Amino acid sequence: MQTYDLSSSSRKPSSPTLSVFSTVRAPIEERIPLWEEQTRTTMLGLRVSSYAKESISSSLVHSSLKTLKLTAIAGNEHLVERSDDLLKESPSDDIAFCLLNKGEAFYYSRQGVTTLHALDAVIYDADTPFLYGFKTDMAQYVFQIPRSRFYRMTGRSSLDEPLFFRNSSTSMLNASRRIFASTIQTLREGKSLNAAQVENVFERVFEHLVAADQHKPDEAYFVAAKAYILSHWHVPDLSVADVAKEVGISERQLARVFFAKDLSVGKFISDVRLENAYKLLTGESSREISIGEISQLAGFRHASQFSRAFRRRFGITPRDARRSSKELPQAR
Instruction: Read off the pLDDT of each residue in 175-195 and give the average, rounded to a whole number.
Output: 78
Dihedral angle of Cα 220, 222, 228, 234, to the nearest 10 degrees? -170
Q: How does pLDDT run across 250-272, given as a tens digit for each residue?
A: 899 999 999 999 999 999 999 99
- How remote is the C-alpha of 248 from its chain's centroid? 17
Alpha-carbon torsion 116, 119, 120, 125, what sign?
positive
Higher pLDDT, 330 or 225: 225
pLDDT of residue 332: 36
pLDDT of 145-155, one tens digit each? Answer: 999 988 887 77
Give the Cα separation of 199 and 98 in Å (integer): 16
Task: Give the residue-averaged pLDDT of 234-245.
Answer: 89
Q: Of residues 12 and 59, which shows the higher confidence score? A: 59
Q: Where are the alpha helices (DSSP H) in 167-317?
A: 172-188, 195-210, 217-232, 240-247, 251-259, 265-282, 291-297, 303-314
Q: pTM to 2 decimals?
A: 0.68
Distance CA 299, CA 29 (A): 49
Q: What is the pLDDT of residues 109-151, one digit of tens each?
A: 999 999 999 989 999 999 999 999 999 999 999 999 999 988 8
DSSP code at position 128: S
- Point out the least confidently predicted range of 146-160, 177-191, 265-279: 177-191
> Above 90 in pLDDT, residue 199?
no
Domains detected in the chain: 19-232 (2.60.120.10)
DSSP 8-state symbol, 300:
-
Q: Are the beta carbons of 193 and 180 closer than 8 angstroms?
A: no
C-alpha span between 140 and 102 (Å, rounded): 7
Question: What is the identity of the amino acid at 330?
Answer: Q
Question: What's the rounded mean pLDDT across residues 100-105?
Answer: 95
Q: How confident is the model at residue 168, as a pLDDT?
A: 63
- The Cα–Cα gap between 47 and 32 comes to 9
